[in-house]
A and B are shown apart, each in its own frame.
Chain A
Amino acid sequence: MTTIAEARTTEGHPPTLGIIDCDVHNSFESREEIDRYLPERWHGRPLVGGGGSGFAGLLGGIGPRTTNNRLDSTPPSGQRPASDVAFLCEQLLDGHGIVKAILHPINEVLRFSQSGELGRALARAVNDWQMQKWFAGDERLYAGITVPVEDTVGSVAEIERCWNAHPHFLNVTLPAITREPIGSAKYWPIFETAVDLEMPVVIHAGGWSGSLGGPGFPIYWTQIHCYHYMSHPVQLTSLVYSGLFDRFPTLQVVLEEGGLAWVPMLMWRLDRAWEEMREDAPHLERRPSEIIRSHLWFSTQPIDQPDKPQYLGRLLDQMDMDDRIMYSSDYPHWDFDDPARVLLKSEIGAERRAKILHRNALALFDFDRR
């Protein structure tokens, strides 16, 4: 058994290169802190719109653990994990050799209202908080633009506002669960705006549509957590079928916090069905896997844990997307992927490790925007 320090030396990235973490979940320290960024009419009011009310137990389950976070991630102040800039930078960035981190505050983005006046106010509050607290607090921090995804007009305005306001906004972040499949024309203006501003669109696990679909609500928390990835293949299917990538040839989309193992199997199925159901997809001129390999990116957490370690390398062979997979930690959540313990050279080789932990994110995100 190697220690973490040993693993970093033998398996880890050379520190000079530095790791880029594509998915970190910073959090408000309290309700009072959110209210400081919200208009007064919302102070102390419930932040969940009509769509999310009455479903708490169905949506989150009863998690069999005292916290959803790493036990050591509570800052010295005692505030919520990932709510203290200095402590987050010390524990995550300094502690793990990470040189840049992209913040996606999913608690706020995914559970709160996605439409209406409250949806707009929340998105604006989150983005102002990112700039005033996090970007100002440490120059290694970047973020996605939070939008009220079901309100396309509001989303477009917020994307443009943020892009102009601060160069550390690197992407537009959407929840993986939307009220319609994400390729629906309703959402096209969001993609169009991202393309115009040369930003990728990140689709992150989670969100709320009122249903989990298919066979109904899962009974156990272990199922709910397991199914988090399942909207990714659905949204990917919708993106491919919609023709969005023909309409916006430069569009790049990142699927975050879904792992990877489902990707090759989905490509095989999309391709076979495309060949055998051309009647229903006459507008798709390219093989779906070709579209995916030209437009999609994936972040790694929760990295798949195959029965045998060598299967991970074979999974990457099957995906054939070495230039489009990017490391993410999911800090501060309990299923955090430590970069010294996942995607090791012994599993995937030095070249792939360097691409995934560093180079691919630099190629996609414009960290040097001014």
Chain B
Amino acid sequence: VPVVDADVHCAVPSVETLYPYLTGHWPEFLRTSEIWKHHGGTNVYPEWSGMLATEGKAITLERLQTDVLGGVDAAILHCHYGVDSVQHPYLSNELQRAVNMWVRDEWLERDDRLFGTIAINPNYVDDAVAEIERAAEHDRFVQIALPVRSREEYGHPRYWPIWETAAKRGLVVALTYGGSGGQPPTAVNWMSSTYEDYVIATLNFAPQIMSVTVSGILAKWPALRIAVVESGWSWVPGFAWRMDAEWKASLREIPWVKEPPSAYVRRHFRFTTQPADLPDDPEQVADALEQLGNDEVAPHELLLYSSDWPHRYEHGVERVVASLTPAQADRVMGANALDWYGLGTRMQSLVI
């Protein structure tokens, strides 16, 4: 059974890397501008943090091959470059295209075990859709990244063309850690530390899941598949109970939501395994896992194995696998991702 790592990262080493992909005066503009020195991406993954550092110069394909690809059959690659933080509409469009071209040439083309995630600035929807259409012509781009800290929640009508394009193209939509929506991350404004920002990040994922679930997107495009990446999953059951309770109390407001929100979550969402916020007691880990599923959907169907490389954690997926049967573990370690991303049709070696 193939093993698929559903979340590994690369990073653009420096803005100069992208110059060959930029058109017109943009390379010259960037060479003589200051803007990129205060880039959003470095705030999301600060270099001082042993856990989160995602330093472009240190992350090479060779290292990825040694650290990750030796042990897996395929990996889903993310390149967070903070294009969503660029307000300049034309520069933003240039940069998103350049990032995706660079990922294509330097990563996907150089190792056919890698599958890509399309970076976009979702706030300029027309350009984002055009870029998705362009990038997806390469058949190893299997996913679109939407960073969870957005300008508006992703169920907002302004973003629907992106969902429509994902559905039409059969691309997974990834909700990813970070983002530069320009708003404070919480209702009490900005936190005082990266530690706090990191801890409360799941509270940015939760509203995005609810927004997508109640917005009507999933009724309109029932084939949509969403990967919740780098958020953990142990908080999902409790949040689903809360959503279901609210739904019962507001059927009149959202009549297109025909089933409890948790049913949509279990049908349309999958969660990567790393990082996992789990209790110390293995029995309680098993409980948390059980509550992620229900009588219809087994919990191990909802998880996609991920290392989140090069981010470093003390514990990996082994704490989850310990409470699974070997057949269930095979689903988590690869078969689920194979199905979710349709990798089998794209990569013959992965067909079971």
Contact = CB atoms under 8 A, between A and B. Distances in A.
Interface of A: 62, 64-65, 177-184, 207, 209, 211-223, 225-227, 229-231, 233-235, 237-238, 241-242, 259, 261-262, 264-266, 268-270, 272-277, 279-281, 302, 304-307, 311, 314-315, 317-318, 334-335
Contacts of A262: 235, 238-239
Given A233-B200, A268-B234, A268-B277, 15 more contacts: A181-B189, A209-B189, A213-B185, A215-B208, A219-B211, A220-B250, A222-B214, A225-B250, A230-B207, A231-B188, A261-B241, A265-B238, A268-B279, A279-B48, A307-B294
B339 interface: no
Given A181-B192, A216-B151, A261 B214 contact: no
A237 B49 contact: no
A236 B280 CA distance: 21
B13 interface: no
Given A276-B50, A279-B49, A335 B211 contact: no
10 contacts: A215-B207, A222-B253, A237-B196, A261-B237, A261-B242, A265-B202, A265-B277, A272-B277, A272-B314, A277-B198
Query: Lowest 10 CB-CB distances: which A-B pairs, in order?
Result: A261-B238, A222-B250, A269-B277, A268-B277, A215-B153, A265-B235, A64-B253, A280-B195, A213-B186, A226-B246
A220 B203 contact: no
A238 B196 contact: yes
Contacts of A280: 49, 193-195
B198 A273 contact: yes
A311 B244 CA distance: 15
Contacts, number: 222
Contacts of A222: 214, 246-247, 249-250, 253-254
B172 to A, nearest CB: 19
Interface in B41-61: 48-52
Interface of B: 48-52, 148-156, 181, 183-196, 198-200, 202-204, 206-208, 210-211, 214-215, 232, 234-235, 237-239, 241-247, 249-250, 252-254, 262, 275, 277-279, 284, 287-288, 291, 294, 312-314
A314 B283 CA distance: 11
A211 B184 contact: yes
B235 A218 contact: no
A311 B284 CA distance: 11
B188 A209 contact: yes
Contacts of B294: 307
B250 A177 contact: no
A281 B193 contact: yes
Contact of B238 (A275, A276, A304): A304
Contacts of B204: 214-215
A231 B186 contact: yes
Contacts of A216: 150-153, 156, 181, 183
B196 A241 contact: yes
A307 B188 contact: no
A183 B199 CA distance: 15
Given A221-B250, A276-B314, A259 B192 contact: no
Contacts of B244: 305
A213 B197 CA distance: 12
Contacts of B52: 277
A226 B243 contact: yes
A133 B337 CA distance: 63
Contact of A307 (B196, B198, B210, B241): B241
Contacts of B154: 215
B215 A219 contact: yes
Contact of A181 (B151, B191, B202): B191
Contacts of A209: 187-189
B186 A214 contact: yes
A307 B296 CA distance: 12
B327 to A, nearest CB: 24
A221 B246 CA distance: 9
Contact of A241 (B184, B192, B291): B192
A259 B238 CA distance: 10
Nearest to A179: B189
Contacts of A268: 234, 277-279
Contacts of A235: 188
Nearest to A175: B188
A280 B50 CA distance: 11
B279 A211 contact: no
Contact of A215 (B181, B194, B238, B246): B181
Nearest to B262: A307
Contacts of A180: 188-189
Contacts of B203: 214, 230, 233-234
A302 B184 CA distance: 27
Contacts of B210: 218, 223, 226
B285 to A, nearest CB: 10
Contacts of A279: 48-50
Contacts of A266: 199, 235
Contacts of A183: 192
Contacts of A213: 183-189
A148 to B, nearest CB: 16
A306 B48 contact: no
B215 A274 contact: no
A209 B312 CA distance: 36
Contacts of B207: 214-215, 218, 223, 227, 230
Contacts of B262: 307
A266 B242 CA distance: 16
Contact of B192 (A223, A230, A238): A238
